[in-house]
Structure 1
Amino acid sequence: MRFRDWPIGLKLLIAPGLVMAGAVAAMLVAWVTLSELQEAAAQRAQDRQVRDVRAATLRVSLIKSDLALFRALAWRTIGVRDEVAAGLRAGAEARLDSVEILAEMFDAEASADEAVLAGATRAEARRYVATARAALGAAGAAAMPQVDEVERRFADAETALREWEAFYLADRQAHDANAAAAERRVVMIALGGAAAAFAVSVALSLLLSGAISRAVRRATLALSRLAAGETGVEIIASDRADEVGRLLHAAAVFKRNARAFERAVGEQAEAEAQARAALQEQFDRLAGSEQRLRDIAGAASDWFWETDAEDRLVMISDRFFEVSGFSPAQVIGVTRLSFAQRAETPEEVATWVNYAKNIAMRRPFRNLDYCIKATDGRLVHVRSNGVPVFVKGEFIGYRGASSDVTALVDAQREALQSSRLASVGQLAAGIAHEINTPIQYLGDNLRFFESSIKTIAAALDRVRTAAAVSDEVSARIEQTLDEADVPYLLEELPTAARQSLDGVEHVARIVRSMKEFSHPGSTAKVMTDINRALESTLTVTTNEWKHTAKVEKDFDPDLPKILCLPADLNQVLLNLVVNASQALEGRETPGLIRIGTRRDGDAVEIRIADNGPGVPDGLRERIFDPFFTTKAVGKGTGQGLAIAMDVVVKKHGGRLTLEETPGGGATFVVRLPIAAEAGEDADETLDPVRR
């Protein structure tokens, strides 16, 4: 065995023993005292290591418990399944229990000076645990205000722990310094005693103690820096087998363990940071999804709603309030029946009965049609669809969507009315055909009567001439004719026959107009006389305008025929004449409708003007829009001018414009090409209203 591997006590014993027994005794005392000091130092080092490990374990436990608490609160706020939330909470509770146990064990062997700071650290840890458990026990949004308090308690506990570590480090360094001083005093006393005996013993003792002290100081310094958290301190490896070698070996092991612990803490912190970032990303995605749903609901023409188990509305989107004008206080917490119009027809009653059956059976319902009265007095037709909602098998209400189908209902009514009018038109065409034949008979017979009366009158003149040869015969003939009022009949019958013929001709003209106007037409364009079409339109609409207006016609007799769809063009002229007539209703004196035609280059122009109130400037841009009307309910659908614009522009490649009429009123001008083919690509961008 090498000398350097000998135990230090043996080294210190052999050198004085070689000189004298007195030196042996002094060295023995020094060896015993130094051994006790070294054991005390080793015990302190072990105690420091235990305390450092406890402090580090408490800090890590605090960090893990804070992460577990944050995770449990965050996932509960997001809304996860109950079993997941319970597992997260149980994990947080376990971490808090660990913190509480470690706090109770923390620095149990503290000295009187350390007791105050150790007690403060335990107290702050207990307060943090209590605050965290209160946050875990709080329900819903009530937990969020307590999170800040938990974080403050966590910071206070960390601060108290750091203060204790700083105090403990200073105290430990003071103890180390005192121990080193005591060792030096003992060595000096022992060496002094030996020097009194022999100078060689003193020199040898000083040499040995110096070598031992340097190794011990290096080991002590290394352990102190390791205890302070400097895991990068250099520890010189030694193959010594004595106490110093073992101390250095223990320091090296402690350094490896400290570095491993530091890496573990860093990895845990990195994992926690990644978990926090993932949670924040989840929050951001959920917030974005919620905003997208809000934007979609706000942009939809329908509205969405939700009811409770008693069919009371608990949520409805803003679109409903825009349509109805209601406020949320008027509809939230009540059923649809409370603001829907009362069912009056058997069909409406049956609709609500079927709805009640579906609600009672918890079945989806489709196409629930009903009316509500908006705040501005309008009747709004609503169509609703809904599905039942169950949570864990328990029925909680309905969710669905509703839409404003007022325009659809009006369009259906208009389509029905148009169908009826089409049927009436077909019937009128058939009646006109049936009337035309007897009218022809009447005309022919009246003409025969007229010519026969003339023939009879001539025959009577010849009879009078023949009877003039005898006064008696002549007088008897005249008397007979007077008694039969033949002279009066001969005078009045031609007039009556002519008036009857005029009446029959007027009826025939009406019948011809009806036949021409009600003719369904064809899909091919034909050459058409616009003046004749206007005459037919005026004849058909006579009952519309004869009580409200006089009609002035200014037709160009040389107006050429144009290539068009007669039936569609008749509809345009009819709409414009009827609009002009209706604009003059309510006047004390009849108004005036002027209708004129003329050729303008390669087109014909039809002007229909009235001296009514005209069209306000604010409405001139909208009068050709579908379903736009200024007439009272039941007087118009807003389709007439829209149809006219479609026929003139799209089907005929023409123009339909509104001009201001001098002196008031409105003038509609229809301009149509004479023979050009109009296509679907007709220019629709032209402004229909000419300023």
Structure 2
Amino acid sequence: MLKELEALTQIVAREKLARKRAEQLLAEKTRELHVKTSQLEAAADGFQAVSSLLSEIMDVAPDMIITCDENFRIISGNAMAQRHLRQNEQALRKRTVDDFLPGLSAELRRRRPGPFFIENRRAARHNGDSFPVDIRGYVGPIGDRIRYLIFFHDISQRVNAEIKRKQTESQMDEARRLEAIGALSAGIAHEVNTPIQFVGDNLDYLEEGLINICNSYQHYDALKVAVAKLGYCPEEVAKVDEFNQSVNLTNLIEEIGAALRESRDGVKQVRDIVILMKEFAHPGTDDKDEVDVNAIIKNVLAMCKNRGKNTADIEANLDPDLPRVRCRKGQVQQVFLNLVINAIDAVDEAGKGRGRIEIETSAEDDYVQIYMSDTGCGVPETLKQKIFDPFFTTKPVGKGTGQGLALAKDTIVKGHGGKLTLVEKDGFATTFLIQLPLKGELQQPLIDTDADTDTESDDDIIAA
């Protein structure tokens, strides 16, 4: 019995020892589990922080970022992508990359895994608008699948700057060409002027000589009549009468006189053209002078006479009492020339047959006002706020730099303190109103080619 009790005691002792060891092991494992749990929680917090950071980076990234699966279905798009493509993330997930960049999937399928770069493509929005982008990205395994990571960089500013650079170069080339033409015109005018002067002087001499010949012939004719009455030299008188009748001498003298007068008028026109060529080739300095606006308009119309003779009837209603204006003649003259040429082109492009151009001057409210109207194709309502913007033109490439109206407004407004506005006038498709102040200080015009194209005021479009 005692032995059995001792054996039972030993068993209990071993059980207690085993239990103690188990409790110690449990406590140790509990501590390890706690440590592991803490580590996992810390890792989860770190992962959450990294995930939040990556999400914020994606949202503030200056480029559009899109991820696609192997079938080019969009998985996600950052805030910039949603803003530029005008689709929220839920809408983006229903689309493929080809919806915004047609043909991109076929191009990327041909590429090997790794980074890629595609330059100057156009990305399309769902409403049909598009904009230029450079594309960078990566194709290859991300996680356990092949995915596409695509970065779109909007290059609109770069493209627009390049367009402006080319337009500026074109404008400078045009200016150099016009400068060369001006120098050539001045040389031609100088060379033409001398022989024209000779021709004019000789025509004056011939006209004076013809008058003397006519006077002499009248005396001779009176002598012939007197001789015939006295019966002297009848055969010689008959021969003279026969000759005069054969050549129709009276009409011949009148025709020669008419031919000389027409020749003098033609020489006068050539002289006027030479004077105009000199004025346009040497428009003067930046000094301001008291200028006859009507005279400038007449000169411009004379320069444009040949260009518009088959296109439009040009009518000038000029106020004979128009006061002089203190301005830079060369600059104002160039503005008038640009507007008249634009009017002729507009009538021609309208294709409505022979049109009409009207120029009217008047003085009102301390301004000299010049209305230039045409029956051309007019200005669409959607473009009225843009026509004075630098580089804006509706003409085909190569036929306009888009600087004519911008420079004209710069010259009139900034250079002379005046106004250049698009107004409405009954019977005409387009009417420009130029207002030059009768008093005021002049400034040197300097056009800002980087001006915002949406800053045109509604005050530039009024009703006449």
TM-score normalised by structure 1 residue count: 0.49
Match 1:445 to one of 187, 195, 202: 202
Give the Å deviation of 1:466: 4.5
CA displacement at 1:534 relative to structure 2: 0.7
Equivalent residue in structure 2 for 1:688, among 453, 460, 463: 460
1:602 aligns with 2:370: no
Instruction: Tell me the equivalent position of 1:148.
Output: none
For the residues of structure 1 that align with 2:286 and 2:238, how far apart are their CA atoms?
73
- Identical pairs, percent: 33
Aligned match of 2:311: 548
What secondary structure, in the 3-state scheme, does the structure 2 residue paired with 1:504 have?
A: helix
1:656 maps to what in 2? 420
In structure 1, stretches of 5+ residues that fail to align are 1-28, 68-268, 305-316, 339-364, 387-398
The DSSP-based 3-state class of the residue aligned with 1:328 is coil
> Is it true that 1:641 corresponds to 2:405 in the alignment?
yes
Structure 2 CA distance for partners of 1:604 and 1:684, relative to 1, 3 Å:
farther
List aligned pairs for 1:250-329, cutoff 5 A. Answer: 269=38, 273-274=41-42, 276-293=44-61, 296-298=62-64, 327-329=100-102
Shift of residue 537 of structure 1?
Answer: 1.1
**Shift of the alpha carbon at 1:539?**
1.3
Contact between 2:367 and 2:437, CA under 8 Å: does it hold in 1?
A: yes
Which deviates the most, 617-626 or 669-678? 617-626
Q: Which residue of 2 aligns with 1:48?
A: 19
Check the 8 A contact 2:327/2:442 in 1, yes or no: no
Which residue pairs with 2:141 in the alignment?
A: none
Kindly name which structure, 1 or 2, has the bigger radius of gyration based on alpha carbons: 1
Secondary structure, counterpart of 2:362 in structure 1: strand
Question: Which of 273, 277, 297 is the matching residue for 1:514?
Answer: 277
Q: Give the equivalent residue in structure 1 for 2:188.
A: 431
Retained in 1: the 8 A contact 2:292–2:325?
A: yes
Q: Which amino acid aligns with 1:551?
A: I
Q: Is the 8 A contact 1:537 1:570 kept in 2?
A: yes
1:485-496, aligned counterparts within 5 Å?
A: 486-496=249-259
**What amino acid maps onto 1:434 in structure 2?**
E
Q: Which amino acid aligns with 1:645?
A: K
* 1:618 matches 2:374: no
CA distance in 2, matches of 1:371, 1:450: 75
Q: Would the alpha carbon gap of residues 450 and 459 (structure 1) be closer, same or farther in structure 2, given more than 3 Å must change?
A: same
Residues of 2 paired with 1:662 and 1:535: CA distance?
24
* CA distance in structure 1 between the partners assigned to 2:99 and 2:163 by the alignment: 17
Corresponding letter in the other structure for 1:437: T
C-alpha distance 383-331 of structure 1, shift in aligned 2 (>3 A): closer
1 CA distance for matches of 2:105 and 2:182?
Answer: 51
Q: Could you tell me how far apart the structure 2 residues matched to 1:524 and 1:332 are?
A: 64
Q: Give the letter for the 2:336 counterpart.
A: L
User: How many Å apart are 1:424 and its aligned residue?
Assistant: 2.0
Q: Output the CA distance in 1 between the equivalents of 2:288 and 2:341.
A: 25
Alignment check: 8 A CA contact 2:411 2:445 kept: no
1:536–1:383 distance in 2 versus 1, CA, 3 Å: farther
Q: Deviations over 1:595-638 (max 9, x none)?
A: 11111132100001123343333332222223333344554443
Provide, for residues 50-95 of structure 1, a one-character-per-residue CA deviation record: whole Å limited to 9, x for no partner: 1122223334444556x6xxxxxxxxxxxxxxxxxxxxxxxxxxxx
User: What is the DSSP-based 3-state SS (H/G/I as helix, E as strand, rest coil) of the residue aligned with 1:662?
Assistant: coil
Structure 2 CA distance, aligned partners of 1:681 and 1:641? 13
Residues 565 and 638 of structure 1: CA distance in aligned 2, closer, same or farther (over 3 Å): same
> Per-residue deviation at 1:418?
3.7
Aligned CA distance change for structure 1 residues 400 and 272 (closer, same or farther; 3 Å):
closer
> Given the alignment of the two structures, is residue 573 of structure 1 paired with residue 341 of structure 2, yes or no?
no
CA displacement, residues 114-138 of structure 1 (integer Å, 9 cap, x when unaligned):
xxxxxxxxxxxxxxxxxxxxxxxxx
**Mapping 1:187-202, distance limit 5 Å:** none
The within-5 A match list for 1:226-241 is none
**Counterpart code for 1:281:** A
Q: Which amino acid in 2 is paired with 1:578?
A: I
Three-state SS of the structure 2 residue aligned to 1:607 is: strand
Change (3 A) 1:421 1:321: farther
Amino acid in structure 1 at the alignment position of 2:177? R
Q: Secondary structure at the match of 2:360?
A: strand
The number of aligned residues is 398
C-alpha RMSD over aligned residues: 4.5
CA distance in 1, matches of 2:132, 2:338: 31
Deviation at 1:501, TM superposition (A): 1.0
**By how many angstroms is 1:483 displaced?**
5.8
Q: In the aligned structure 1, how far is the partner of 2:393 from the partner of 2:202?
A: 50
Q: Distance in 2 between matches of 1:326 and 1:421?
A: 48
User: Letter of the aligned partner of 2:24 in structure 1?
Assistant: V
Q: Secondary structure at the match of 1:584?
A: helix
What's 2:103 paired with?
330
- Secondary structure of the residue aligned to 2:462 is coil
Looking at structure 2, the residues matched to 645 and 447 of structure 1 have their Cα atoms a distance apart, in angstroms, of 47
The 3 A distance-change label for structure 1 pair 371 and 40 is closer
Q: Is the 8 A contact 2:332 2:411 kept in 1?
A: yes
* Closer/same/farther in 2, CA of residues 555 and 329 from structure 1, 3 Å limit: closer
CA distance in 1, matches of 2:249, 2:121: 74
- Distance, in Å, in 1 between the alignment partners of 2:219 and 2:25 is 157
Of stretches 562-571 and 547-556 in structure 1, the one that deviates more from structure 2 is 562-571
Deviations 1:193-252 (A, max 9, x none): xxxxxxxxxxxxxxxxxxxxxxxxxxxxxxxxxxxxxxxxxxxxxxxxxxxxxxxxxxxx
Q: Does 1:461 align with 2:218?
A: yes
Post-superposition offset of 1:686: 6.9
1:236-288 per-position Cα deviation (integer Å, ceiling 9, x unaligned): xxxxxxxxxxxxxxxxxxxxxxxxxxxxxxxxx3x665554344333322322
Aligned to 1:527: 290
Hey, what's the Cα distance between the residues in 2 that align with 1:660 and 1:596? 14
Identify unmatched segments of 5+ residues in structure 2.
67-79, 87-97, 111-116, 137-150, 447-454
Q: Match for 2:279: what amino acid?
A: E
- Which structure dedicates a bigger proportion of its chain to strand? 2
Change (3 A) 1:461 1:556: same
Higher relative contact order (CA 8 A, sep 6+): 2
> Aligned-pair distance for 1:49?
2.8
Secondary structure in 1 matching 2:257: helix
For residue 417 of structure 1, what is the aligned residue in structure 2?
174
The equivalent position to 2:431 in structure 1, one of 642, 659, 667, is 667
Residue 28 of structure 2: aligned partner: 57
